[in-house]
Structure 1
Amino acid sequence: MASRTLAMARAVQELPHRSRLAWRTIDISEAGKAGQAEKALDLFDAMPVKNQIAWNTALAALIDAGRTDWAFSFFREMPKRNATSYATIIGGLSRAGATARARSLFEELPLDQHNVFTWTAMVSCHVRNGEPDRAIELFMVLYGEFFGREVLPNAHMFSSLLKACVGLHSLSMALQLHALIVKLLNEGGRDCFVWNALIDAHAKLGALSDAQKVFHEMQHRDICTWNIMMDGYARHKQVDKALDLFSMMRNKDAFSWNIIMHCLSENRRGKDALHLFVDMVRLIGHCGENVQPNTSIYTTALHICSVLALLELGIQIHARIVKDGLCKGNAFVCNSLISMYGSCGATFDLEQVFDEMTVRDIVSWNAVIQGLGQNGLGRQALVVAERALEKKMYNGNTFIAILTSCSHAGLIVEGLSFFDAMAEKHGVERTLDHYICAMDLLGRAGRLEEAYGLLRNMPFAPNAVAWSTLLHSCLAHKNSVLGSMAAQELRALQPDGGENYKRLVQSCRGSDEVVVNPFGNEKSQNHVPGCSWVT
């Protein structure tokens, strides 16, 4: 190995001077991509002659290594800078979220020295950092100036602009860009990512027919094209078309499987999604199929098992996850496992998964509290909650899980104590959901007047969920007076449910008693079944 390295070094030394410089810049670039910023600069410093390409390569190496601040200092030290230098540093600052500094550098370069790459870098910077309006504005302001100099937007520019249109929910702008793309770009080109971006933008902005037209007219499609079109069908709940597209795909990747499974799950076809998951696992290693389930696919499958309470299948998926080495150190998968076991009532397995996790986030703690609480283990849930609060691993959802757990277990004093301490002790502002949880806590205990008082005095306008929570508490404790009031408010918010609420109030007293009808003699033609968000 040493002799081979020595021979290569000798061969490089025997190359002409210009070729040796090219080899050295390649080495600098490779060091940057490997994250070795110091090595890249050592190689750069060792170069006897440094031209503009060498300086730009070293700058790019620092960016690739993630050393943005160092790259900015290096940029300022460069004896000469060109458009490539500016495009490179703007791209690096974009990844670091330093949009203002990037824009300052963009405007520092005289307009006649800009090219499509600096322009694209700045537009992309605005889009990447959540400023789609500024991206569109920059494009429109400079388009006429650059067009006169024959500096035309490229495919990368258009892809970023289409993302900006999605961010601004502007279909009209997307249609104008579509016309420009057809005019300026080679529609038969093999760089299909801009056409993929068009499909995605049209689908997300509601123009599915235009997305289909672009898809069918494309001469070259890659796996992303098929996935994006399938996702478009999924967004518009056209499940059968998404399934047809999925079946037509010759080569599927993990995203393909995840898109179709999520589509089926969202459209109440969870069992079909799980059948596909089983098919995927069976295909591994057969018929050239080498796609392995990834974190998203496992999470989707486990979520469906949670919704359908399929414990046995959930356990089998857990075994597969362990086999694939995605368990203990993967918080996303473990959180899904905790939720699945909680929904299926397997609290022992829930706690075991949590105890074995090597990486936990706030969602992990919330899932355990929620899982224990919804299965009636309120005291155990509060023990975990106290640990989470001590470790500062909490957010607003933590307190929703705590209050819900107290509500299920009848821990009124404890629940109200946590509710009172939220803002003062833990710095978490109460939301409408927290008030509704506290109302449910009081309502289940029969303290209906207190629940009603909390509803009337909370700093939010009561919504249908709040009144529904009060109504169902009144039903449980046969309080038709407050129940009628809650039903009237619900009728105002949800007119189609009027007759349904009337029946609920009548059930407070029993069929033999006369109840004042708060709804008059009207009958709803499209009443919806009454339900409560609290389970």
Structure 2
Amino acid sequence: WRRRRKMVSRTLFKAVGDLPRRSRLVWRTIEVTEAGRAGQAERALDLFEAMPVKNQVAWNAALAALVDAGRTDWALSFFQEMPRRNATSYTTMIGALSRAGGAAATARARALFEELPLDQHNVFTWTAMVSCHVRNGEPDRAVELFVALYSEFFARGMLPNAHTFSSLLKACVGIRSLAMALQLHAVIVKLLDEGSRHCFVWNALIDVHAKLGALSDAEKVFYRMRYRDICSWNIMMDGYSRHKLIDRALELFRMTRKKDAFTWNIIISCLGENRLGEGALCLFIDLVRLDGHCSGNAKLSASIYTTVLHVCSVLALLVFGRQVHARTVKDGIGQSNISVSNSLLSMYSSCGAMNDLEQVFEEMMVRDIISWNSVIQGLGQNGLGRQALAVADRALELKMYNSNTFIAILTSCSHAGLVTEGLGYFDSMTEKHGVEPTLDHYISVIDLLGRAGRLEEAYDLLRKMPFAPNAVAWRTLLHSCLAHKNSVMGSIAAQELRALQPDCGGGNYERLVQGCGSSSTSDETLDGNEKSADHAPGCSWLT
């Protein structure tokens, strides 16, 4: 198809010299546009410069070519050099800055929007700016812009279109405003028909109602639609999943004729998140059986593998998880996809398979901070504190760390009894690594000291930390007191817990403390052995 397209283009462009002047201008403009779509920014500009006559359409085509090629900075310079600009020019440039992302780009886009006189705006400039705010995490500003200009534009006969409404509905989700969504719903019904061309607007309505708690309204929109695409079914199914209506989600899944990867991912996630992991894995096996023998886009995707590996992690299904790992390698996404690799790390960590965890980590083509944190946490929780700290030192040296990295380090030190090392990392957080300790870090140190029997130091740190102690902090100290049979300090922790959580069985804590002198209470620790509770059906089908 591409070869045929090139041949046709060459044949047509050879005849350009024989065309009238106006037609030659049109064809040269088309050439500029095609070069931009192909990502050839330099060629597009060369073709534009070679044009003997340049009208506004040609200038806009050259600008769009730079934008299509992803050359936003170049496009902005070109935009500023344009002798004349119209609404199309501004729409193209605002769209480019929107895709570039970031607060600076959004601010520049808004400045361009306000630079254009109000009487020269059209629905496309308006929609582009609304979409820019939504896309870059400013849904409140998108709504404010729409409300501020709606009456004036309406008086001029300039009405919002389907794309405007679609962006605004996303903004309603961002600001959690069901009232705004209901008002937009009324306007959409008045201005748009329910034809297939506007299907994505009705899909957005289903989504916003489901996410903001009005599931019955979402159902009304879905079942009244004359035309539904696969997104309609997926969004409605996701709505049922969010509201934990598993039976309805499954019924809709069975009714969906042309299932794609999102359809399978939604239902597998739905079952997995609602403690129906075995059912989720059975559906995954069904999908594996269909792979290569089904129509449509129902293929094994990275998101599906990530979901299934999470289920394996929760259920500690090591053998099944290994077979899923084998499938990812077979499909060529095991090492190259960072999300799948991180899920493998989490799964092997939960199953206690440290050799597999280290192998996956070493074979990863790209690692992010989550990868490093997962390995540190996994090694530490499975009794390999020294190895965890060795990995932590590599992460700190490579600047691949964040606040959670130090939680993983302190937890590893706590499980391994490495008190001196843990306190050293805690003291170096701010001065050496620029990470401010949070309440969670202090609780981790309290646990570190408490497990080692240094209860007075743990209590002293709890009282002097720059945060008000919460129930987790007092419960951490209480567990250490029970483990080391310190009834005096344990009574203090139990009383504080009872004051913070009067309806959560504070008396039970006090009875535990009273009996800790005679009963042997000890922490349950994990050994390094692999867990092998594999009862998932049909494991042999995976490979």
TM-score in same-fold range (> 0.5): yes
Once the two structures are TM-superposed, the CA of residue 273 in structure 1 deviates from its matched residue by 1.1
The match for 1:65 is: 69
Whether 2:145 is the aligned partner of 1:138: answer: yes
The worse-fitting range, judged by mean Cα deviation, of 109-118 and 328-337 is: 328-337
The match for 1:472 is: 479
Which of 501, 509, 518 in structure 2 is aligned with 1:501? 509
Whether 2:313 is the aligned partner of 1:306: answer: yes
Which of 22, 25, 28 in structure 2 is aligned with 1:24? 28
What SS does the corresponding residue of 1:225 show, helix, strand or coil?
A: helix
Once the two structures are TM-superposed, the CA of residue 222 in structure 1 deviates from its matched residue by 1.0
**Aligned CA distance change for structure 1 residues 128 and 18 (closer, same or farther; 3 Å):** same
8 Å CA contact 1:283–1:289 kept in 2: the answer is: no
Once the two structures are TM-superposed, the CA of residue 360 in structure 1 deviates from its matched residue by 1.1
The worse-fitting range, judged by mean Cα deviation, of 12-21 and 473-482 is: 12-21
The worse-fitting range, judged by mean Cα deviation, of 48-57 and 179-188 is: 48-57
Q: How does 1:76-87 map to 2 (within 5 A)?
A: 76-87=80-91
What SS does the corresponding residue of 2:198 show, helix, strand or coil?
A: coil
The worse-fitting range, judged by mean Cα deviation, of 188-197 and 405-414 is: 188-197
- 1:347-398: CA deviation from partner (whole Å, max 9, x where unpaired): 1111111111121111111111111111101111111111111111111111
Q: How does 1:153-232 map to 2 (within 5 A)?
A: 153-232=160-239
The match for 1:150 is: 157
What SS does the corresponding residue of 2:169 show, helix, strand or coil?
A: helix
Whether 2:98 is the aligned partner of 1:94: answer: yes
Of all paired residues, the percent bearing the same amino acid is 75
Whether 2:466 is the aligned partner of 1:462: answer: no
8 Å CA contact 1:203–1:211 kept in 2: the answer is: yes
Whether 2:322 is the aligned partner of 1:315: answer: yes
Once the two structures are TM-superposed, the CA of residue 5 in structure 1 deviates from its matched residue by 7.8
CA distance in 2 between counterparts of 1:171 and 1:322 reads 44
**Aligned CA distance change for structure 1 residues 503 and 221 (closer, same or farther; 3 Å):** farther
CA distance in 2 between counterparts of 1:404 and 1:38 reads 54
1:78 maps to a residue whose letter is M
The worse-fitting range, judged by mean Cα deviation, of 464-473 and 493-502 is: 493-502
8 Å CA contact 2:310–2:347 kept in 1: the answer is: yes
Q: How does 1:121-520 map to 2 (within 5 A)?
A: 121-288=128-295, 290-498=297-505, 499-510=507-518
The match for 1:528 is: none
Once the two structures are TM-superposed, the CA of residue 121 in structure 1 deviates from its matched residue by 0.9
**Aligned CA distance change for structure 1 residues 81 and 273 (closer, same or farther; 3 Å):** same
What SS does the corresponding residue of 2:300 show, helix, strand or coil?
A: coil
Which of 28, 32, 38 in structure 2 is aligned with 1:34? 38
CA distance in 1 between counterparts of 2:442 and 2:450 reads 12
**Aligned CA distance change for structure 1 residues 153 and 4 (closer, same or farther; 3 Å):** closer
Residue segments in structure 1 that go unaligned for 5+ positions in a row: 513-530
Once the two structures are TM-superposed, the CA of residue 67 in structure 1 deviates from its matched residue by 1.3
8 Å CA contact 1:469–1:534 kept in 2: the answer is: no
Which of 5, 8, 14 in structure 2 is aligned with 1:10? 14
CA distance in 2 between counterparts of 1:175 and 1:3 reads 52
- 1:126-156: CA deviation from partner (whole Å, max 9, x where unpaired): 2112222221111111111111111001111
What SS does the corresponding residue of 1:190 show, helix, strand or coil?
A: helix
The worse-fitting range, judged by mean Cα deviation, of 287-296 and 154-163 is: 287-296
CA distance in 2 between counterparts of 1:329 and 1:408 reads 32
CA distance in 1 between counterparts of 2:228 and 2:236 reads 11
CA distance in 2 between counterparts of 1:307 and 1:269 reads 11
What SS does the corresponding residue of 1:508 show, helix, strand or coil?
A: coil
Once the two structures are TM-superposed, the CA of residue 19 in structure 1 deviates from its matched residue by 3.9
Once the two structures are TM-superposed, the CA of residue 188 in structure 1 deviates from its matched residue by 3.2
1:61 maps to a residue whose letter is A
1:510 maps to a residue whose letter is S
The match for 1:526 is: none
2:87 maps to a residue whose letter is A
The worse-fitting range, judged by mean Cα deviation, of 442-451 and 5-14 is: 5-14
TM-score (structure 2 length as normaliser): 0.91
Which of 103, 115, 138 in structure 2 is aligned with 1:108? 115
1:66 maps to a residue whose letter is G
Once the two structures are TM-superposed, the CA of residue 419 in structure 1 deviates from its matched residue by 0.9
**Aligned CA distance change for structure 1 residues 44 and 289 (closer, same or farther; 3 Å):** closer
CA distance in 2 between counterparts of 1:533 and 1:489 reads 27
Whether 2:47 is the aligned partner of 1:43: answer: yes
**Aligned CA distance change for structure 1 residues 351 and 128 (closer, same or farther; 3 Å):** same
Structure with greater contact order relative to length (CA < 8 Å, sep ≥ 6): 2
What is the aligned residue count?
A: 517
Once the two structures are TM-superposed, the CA of residue 411 in structure 1 deviates from its matched residue by 0.8
Once the two structures are TM-superposed, the CA of residue 17 in structure 1 deviates from its matched residue by 4.1
CA distance in 2 between counterparts of 1:281 and 1:289 reads 15
8 Å CA contact 2:166–2:201 kept in 1: the answer is: yes
The worse-fitting range, judged by mean Cα deviation, of 472-481 and 43-52 is: 43-52
CA distance in 2 between counterparts of 1:94 and 1:238 reads 37
Once the two structures are TM-superposed, the CA of residue 16 in structure 1 deviates from its matched residue by 4.5
Once the two structures are TM-superposed, the CA of residue 225 in structure 1 deviates from its matched residue by 1.1
Once the two structures are TM-superposed, the CA of residue 11 in structure 1 deviates from its matched residue by 3.7
Once the two structures are TM-superposed, the CA of residue 214 in structure 1 deviates from its matched residue by 0.7
What SS does the corresponding residue of 1:509 show, helix, strand or coil?
A: coil
8 Å CA contact 2:106–2:132 kept in 1: the answer is: yes
CA distance in 2 between counterparts of 1:138 and 1:339 reads 44
Once the two structures are TM-superposed, the CA of residue 327 in structure 1 deviates from its matched residue by 1.9
- 1:304-351: CA deviation from partner (whole Å, max 9, x where unpaired): 111111000010011000011112222221111111111111111111
TM-score (structure 1 length as normaliser): 0.92
1:374 maps to a residue whose letter is Q
CA distance in 1 between counterparts of 2:96 and 2:115 reads 17
8 Å CA contact 2:134–2:171 kept in 1: the answer is: yes
2:327 maps to a residue whose letter is R
Once the two structures are TM-superposed, the CA of residue 507 in structure 1 deviates from its matched residue by 3.6
Once the two structures are TM-superposed, the CA of residue 497 in structure 1 deviates from its matched residue by 2.1
1:109 maps to a residue whose letter is L
8 Å CA contact 1:123–1:161 kept in 2: the answer is: yes
- 1:32-62: CA deviation from partner (whole Å, max 9, x where unpaired): 2232211111121222322222211111111
CA distance in 2 between counterparts of 1:125 and 1:6 reads 37
The worse-fitting range, judged by mean Cα deviation, of 492-501 and 188-197 is: 492-501
